[in-house]
Structure 1
Amino acid sequence: MDVAAHTPGTVCWIDIGAPDPDATAAFYGELFGWTYTASGADGYRAALLDGRAVSGLGPAEDPGPPYWTAVLSVEDIDAAAAAFAAAGARIVVPPAPVAELGHAAVVVDPVGAPVSLWQPGTQTGMQAVGEHGAFASIELLTGRPDEASDFYRRVLGWHLDGTERRPETGVRGTPPPSPTPQPSLWLVNFTSDDVDATVTSALRLGATHAGLDCGATVLLRDPAGALFGIVATR
């Protein structure tokens, strides 16, 4: 599905910081058919699916295993960051402009999961979702699901407990499997037209099973250790 714009309070972008960006780019490129834009001065590049932007990839900035980050679209990034902080989140990177593309901020929610905020400028976010090789959904892996549900209800109006559940978000009452250093983490899921075939390809390319039963979601680690999920096309 092509996406021209993203409603505030929804996932508009996903990205990953990798210890070896070229190796990570090669893995996902082979797995999903992604191509990439040229890297900027900071090493960041966009992944393209049939010419449409679907994710970003750059050098790792945090120690430990890399992880995919969900980026949430907001109308006013200063107001959103203030609301997150007032509800108990920790601001890691304060709101700042990214040239004419938009404004970004990074926070850690009260249960310890990192998440990014984005106020669009010329860049609104992903141009394809819900199709093979593109973003499908996010699920919060946490041992504190009630606290997380209350937080996201207050700051975004999400109902992660299953009532009025948004199709692209959910929560699982179990923390991310070791050796993930974060106590909680947003799991990014990708869409597949053939889950078994995609998982087989991922394992052939160096991925491993993550050791956590997520039902219909197959949870894997890429060769660098980043968690990601594979789900069937809706």
Structure 2
Amino acid sequence: MTDFAEGAPCWADAMFKDVEGAKTFYGDVLGWTFGEASTEYGDYTQAYSGGKAVAAVAPPMAGAEQAPSAWCLYFASDDANRTAEKIKEAGGALLMEPMQIGPFGSMALAKEPSGAVFGVWQPGEHKGFEKMGENGAYCWAEIFTREPDTADDFLRRVFPYQVERMEAGDEGGPSTMDFKIFSLGGPEHPVLGRMKMDEDFPPDLPAYVQIYFAVPDCDDAVAKAQGHGGTLHFGPMDSPFGRFAALTDQQGAAFAVIDLSRTTGEMPPTTPA
């Protein structure tokens, strides 16, 4: 298993009212298989790609049955209690205080000041993703927010990130794009993006974390998602990073798919921020 540095995305899960429906959806769209539900831990069920753990699904926790389905990205922490204190000191809010999950590790749920929800994971026996950056697995994430300066300041105070601004490039002239890349150990190790939400986003849409899963064919994944009742919100679109699309599944959880092998154009330049 991989050891994750402080602040690195290390796990993702989602709660669904219809867990079997979620398994069918992601089994077809991402090629996942699923393990046995852990009744001791709320029927938490791990998803696998090629036999390696890549995510988990579960029914809602008691008292949260009406909460909308959503994917949650967890960031690695050497000490969940210390990270929780940093979150509060930086203006964030804890939705769930650090809690030991048997021998597997400790978790907390939080919200950064502009509203995006995320998790913290201090590993025990469960280290996190066993596969990343390959088809069927997590490969990237971005925080979408209308308060970029607030989110940026929070992230830098909680985790040891270095930050660069992505420039728009020359095609199309000036751009109002506000996108930053957060790295660990230098710009050659990016772990997270942050995008400013503009007027193209619904005004009632709160800040959120968009998780990207790699697929061998973006268009095929979109077609499969739509065939299971999912909704396409953006794309498919070509980019220097791959061909990608933003979706919600049939239960409303947002995610994105990207074909990393199909790249178009030059990588945009970046400058220290």
| Deviations, residues 130-172 of structure 1 (Å, cap 9, x unaligned) | 1111001111111111211111011113327446643331011
Measure the CA separation in 1 of the matches of 2:216 and 2:94.
38
- Asked whether the 8 Å contact 1:13–1:55 carries over to 2, the reply is yes
Measure the CA separation in 1 of the matches of 2:251 and 2:120.
25
Which residue number in structure 1 is paired with residue 257 of structure 2? 230
Larger CA deviation: 171-180 vs 43-52: 171-180
Candidates 18, 28, 39, aligned match of 1:30: 28
- Asked whether the 8 Å contact 2:31–2:49 carries over to 1, the reply is yes
Give 1 or 2 for the bigger CA radius of gyration.
2
Which residue number in structure 2 is paired with residue 56 of structure 1? 56
Indicate yes or no: 2:129 matched with 1:126.
Answer: yes
- Asked whether the 8 Å contact 1:37–1:45 carries over to 2, the reply is yes
Compute the displacement of 1:173 (Å).
0.8
Q: Secondary structure at the match of 1:197?
A: helix
Measure the CA separation in 2 of the matches of 1:64 and 1:145.
26
Which residue number in structure 1 is paired with residue 169 of structure 2? none
**TM-score, normalization by structure 2:** 0.78
Which residue number in structure 2 is paired with residue 74 of structure 1? 77
Unaligned 5+ segments in structure 1 are none
User: Taking structure 1 as reference, are residues 96 and 180 closer, same or farther at Cα in structure 2, changes over 3 Å only?
Assistant: farther
Compute the displacement of 1:180 (Å).
7.4
Q: Secondary structure at the match of 2:82?
A: helix
Q: Secondary structure at the match of 2:222?
A: helix
Compute the displacement of 1:44 (Å).
1.0
Indicate yes or no: 2:17 matched with 1:6.
Answer: no
RMSD value, Cα:
2.3
Q: Percent identity?
A: 28
**Aligned residue type for 2:193:** G
Unaligned 5+ segments in structure 2 are 167-179, 184-189, 262-273
| Deviations, residues 39-88 of structure 1 (Å, cap 9, x unaligned) | 11212100011111000101134434311000011001111100011101
Query: After the TM superposition, which residues 127-206 of structure 1 pair with which residues of structure 2 at under 5 Å, given as runs?
Result: 127-158=130-161, 159=163, 161-162=165-166, 165-166=182-183, 167-174=190-197, 183-206=206-229
Which residue number in structure 1 is paired with residue 186 of structure 2? none
**Aligned residue type for 2:191:** E
Q: Secondary structure at the match of 1:96?
A: strand
Candidates 243, 246, 253, aligned match of 1:219: 246
Larger CA deviation: 16-25 vs 149-158: 149-158
Q: Secondary structure at the match of 2:246?
A: strand
Higher RCO, 1 or 2 (CA under 8 Å, sep at least 6)? Answer: 1
- Asked whether the 8 Å contact 1:149–1:160 carries over to 2, the reply is no
Larger CA deviation: 169-178 vs 50-59: 169-178
Measure the CA separation in 2 of the matches of 1:86 and 1:27.
39
| Superposed structure 1 runs of 4+ greater than 6 Å apart | 212-215
| Deviations, residues 81-110 of structure 1 (Å, cap 9, x unaligned) | 000111011111111111011111111111
